[in-house]
Structure 1
Amino acid sequence: MSQCQLALVRDAVATYKAIRPDLARGLPFWPLGLPGWTDEWLALGMRTPDDRTSYVLVWRRGCDPELGLPVGHLAGREVSADILHPSSVSPGSAVWSRGGLRVSLPCTPAVLLVRLVA
């Protein structure tokens, strides 16, 4: 692996260790529904039982560089959106509006892990 790839792996492991307690008690949700084999965008979410913190992992495999993700249990609430991975040089952006999460990933393939806190 290159130094850049090793840095991404180290970042991913550190991020996992930081959020592991929330994941252990988290409840899954699929903002885009269950994924299909050829879907251009995939999204998996985990929310804590109190619905205050959620994590959304978004993959772009092709198609449009921006996507709106509905997050029903947080709809209409004030929410902060923070990109957790990759943390050093993010390949995109994530912005919350009362209608949901708007993700931008200009290149493919690409992934973002976003923490949403209400």
Structure 2
Amino acid sequence: IEYHKQICNELKDGLPFWPMGLASMSDEYLSVGIECKNKLYLAVWRTTGDSASVKIPIKQAEGKIANVTMTYPSKMQVPFNWDNETSTLEVKLAPKTARIFEISI
């Protein structure tokens, strides 16, 4: 709740996006984002399955230098990697977990 309170003023004017397309609960990974001016908020979930990681294309960052931070939960970091050349975020999650990322562009 505290994190939501910190970002809610930005979110109210944001536009939603689905970088992996509309999701189904049968998907191993799900993601949804909100585009807010020069910042993107991206939620990533791993439901089940054998894929330890997922690569998520972020078209809003194409041709830009982006800075990515994992913001929630901040004390439970997971491995992730941002590739500026392909504008792709690779995230490694355990089954039935989720994280929120901020992508500054």
TM surpasses 0.5: yes
Which sections of structure 1, spanning at least 5 residues, go unmatched?
1-12
Select the structure that is richer in helix: 1
Residues 44-63 of structure 1: per-residue CA shift (max 9 Å, x gap):
00001x3x100100000122
Aligned-pair CA distance for 1:37? 2.8
Which sections of structure 2, spanning at least 5 residues, go unmatched?
none
Inter-partner Cα distance in structure 1 for 2:60 and 2:76: 29
Select the structure that is richer in strand: 2
Amino acid at match of 2:63: G
Inter-partner Cα distance in structure 2 for 1:86 and 1:108: 16
Aligned-pair CA distance for 1:84? 0.8
CA RMSD of aligned residues (A): 1.1
Partner of 1:25: 13
Scaled by the length of structure 1, what TM-score is found? 0.81
1:84 paired residue among 63, 71, 74: 71
Residues 11-61 of structure 1: per-residue CA shift (max 9 Å, x gap):
xx111111111111110000110011311110000001x3x1001000001
Q: Which has the larger radius of gyration?
A: 1
Partner of 1:60: 46
Inter-partner Cα distance in structure 1 for 2:63 and 2:54: 18
